[in-house]
Amino acid sequence: RSTQSRSSAASDVYKRQKQRIVRMYDIIVPDRTTILFGDISENTSSVVVSSILKYNYENNNMPIFLYINSLGGSVYSAWSIVDVMNSVETPIVTVGVGAVMSAAVLVLASGTKGWRFLSKNTRVMIHNVYGGSDGTPDDIKRDAKELSYLEQRYIEELSAATGKAVKDIQEDMKNTKYMDSDEAVKYGLADYNRIVTPSDLHFLSYITTDKSDIVAEHKRHKSKVKLNATKDTANKRDKQNPNTRS
């Protein structure tokens, strides 16, 4: 019984510490701001996704600020963030600080165009998607096919975000390309070389003729993304079942 009591007491202490950390985070981090620091995983992506959904529900006209300092991580977790970013109506300001590399680059570039920022000393890097596999030869072939698919989708998304040709991005990723913030802006991964905070809404208004313009353009872009996705699905279905085309 004494062992159970000690275990229960330790659990209570842990819960109190966790609650204290959550309260400190709420106090320190400004409203409508979320942070992606460290490895991109199920845990970190769930925090970002839930924050975006919450802020979008509260007000889909005021921008959300997403700060990124990550060497990368799970491509699947990065896609979960990017897909939610692309589905909400709220403009999302992405701000890279420290290091934005690998899968984190996709998150940075997926911010609302015109509102993607990098701090002066941020380092950016893109490289080939990589992974490991074991098991039977068939297992390895299936894993290699999935890896190839993820890399192709990553390249296509970066091409859409930057305006650069797919073949150019493929070549840069193959050679592992490092960039400083100025080079990353020229590459199209970000729009400005400076840090912004929620208190800089006046600056965001300044770099667009009217803040409502970028909100309207952002919503038009989201509608176009959804329409293209519907067309892609229809085209794939037609190719698989050519006799069903009307």
Known catalytic residues? 102, 127
Tell me the backbone φ, ψ of residue 98, rounded to 5 degrees.
Answer: 75, -90
Separation CA 115–CA 185 (nearest Å): 12
Q: Please give the single-letter amino acid code of residue 70.
A: S
Backbone angles phi, psi at 127, to 5 degrees: -155, 175
Q: Please choose, from the candidates 239, 218, 215, 234, the residue with its C-alpha nearest in 3D space to the C-alpha of residue 61.
A: 215
Name residue, tokens 């208190």.
Answer: 199
DSSP state for residue 22 in the 8-state scheme: H
Q: Are strands 123-126 and 177-179 parallel, antiparallel or unpaired?
A: antiparallel
> Residue 155, Cβ neighbours under 10 Å: how many?
21
Cα(first)–Cα(last) distance of the chain, in Å? 73
Cβ distance 58 to 64 under 8 Å?
no
| Cα gap 176→139, rounded to integer Å | 28
